[in-house]
Homo-oligomer: A and B are copies of this chain.
Amino acid sequence: MSTPGRGLHGRVLDSLGPAITAGEYPPGSVLRTDELAQHFAVSRSVMREAVRVLESMHLVESRRRVGVTVRPKAAWNLYDPQVIRWRLAGADRPHQLRSLTVLRSAIEPVAAGLAAKHATAEQCAELTECALGMVANSRGHKLEGYLVHDMAFHRVILVASGNEMFARLGDVVAEVLAGRTHHEVMFEDPDPAAVTLHVQVAEAVREGDAARAEQLTREITVGALQELDILAP
């Protein structure tokens, strides 16, 4: 997927990051740079670079005379794509997927409303193309093809919103959608109602109908919440 093993320090991170985010080292645990370097069979300089990165993600804190202490989850940079990936690969994947789906349900409707106002002709075309791709793959065990167009659809919406913060969530949404298809309960074929909603959102955006685009997208996200039994009855 991303960039595995871009140097020695990267491989150390691929090992330490998931371990920490999985709670293998409980908050307050103290690690020593030297010991870690030995354990991973790398030099201290490499180990230090890895620790610096973990520190920039607020996963750990390095203090003199103390060592490298693991910080509580409340301090972690949960929006760091790397951290998201590590956590999605770990044990609390379901919990993580729920949090992100709720986040989606807040963001995407607003983004769709903005997209209806700001989308370029080109983006509208892309959107329609994605929706058609979803329709074409909505029947007959074509989950992978469906997923590709679904991810592209939502990414275009987020980018077309014109808000840089929304646009940056494209990767997160893609992860959630992929996670749902690959690891969670996903019925043989997608819900036809959901497919229709996507087509209608593309329409609404094309016509510049912000309120309708927002409302329709809200229905999509409500469906996503229901799939995970998040909505209270």
Interface of A, helix, strand, loop or mixed by DSSP: helix
> Of the candidates B45, B76, B80, which one forms a contact with A79 in the assembled complex, judged by CB atoms under 8 Å apart?
B80
Residues of B within 8 A of A49 (CB): 48-49, 52
Binds B, one of A134-142, A165-173, A186-194, A196-204: A165-173
A164 within 8 A of B: yes
A3 to chain B, nearest CB (A): 9
Assembly CA distance A46 to B208 (angstroms)? 52
Q: Which residues of B contact A168 (CB under 8 A)?
A: 76-79
CA distance A52 to B24 in the complex (A): 24
- Each complex incorporates copies of this chain amounting to 2
Task: Indicate if the CB atoms of A78 and B165 lie closer than 8 Å.
Answer: yes
Instruction: Give CA–CA (A51, B111) in the complex, Å.
Output: 33
- Cα distance, A203 to B54, chains bound together (Å): 41
Given contacts A48-B49, A49-B49, contact A103 B9 (CB under 8 A): no
Collect the chain B residues with CB atoms within 8 Å of residue A107's CB. Answer: 103, 106-107
- Given A77-B81, A79-B79: A52 and B102 interface contact (C-beta under 8 Å): no
Interface residue? A224 (CB, 8 A): no
Q: Which of B9, B81, B105 contacts A110 (CB 8 A)?
A: B105
Could you say which of B52, B99, B166 contacts A164, with CB atoms under 8 Å apart?
A: B99
* B99→A165 contact, CB < 8 A: yes
Asked if A211 CB lies within 8 Å of chain B CBs, one says no
A226 interface contact, C-beta 8 A: no
Complex contact A99–B48 (CB within 8 A): no
Of the candidates B52, B103, B111, B165, the one whose C-beta lies within 8 Å of that of A163 is B103
Q: Of residues 56 to 98 in A, which have CB atoms within 8 Å of B's CB atoms?
A: 56-57, 73-74, 76-82
Shortest Cβ distance from residue A156 to the other chain B in the assembled complex, whole angstroms: 14
A-B contact pairs, 12 of them (CB 8 A): A49-B49, A52-B53, A73-B164, A77-B80, A77-B81, A79-B79, A99-B165, A102-B165, A103-B163, A103-B166, A105-B110, A106-B111
Which chain A residues have a beta carbon within 8 Å of chain B's beta carbons? 9, 45, 48-49, 52-53, 55-57, 73-74, 76-82, 99-100, 102-103, 105-107, 109-111, 114, 117, 163-168, 232
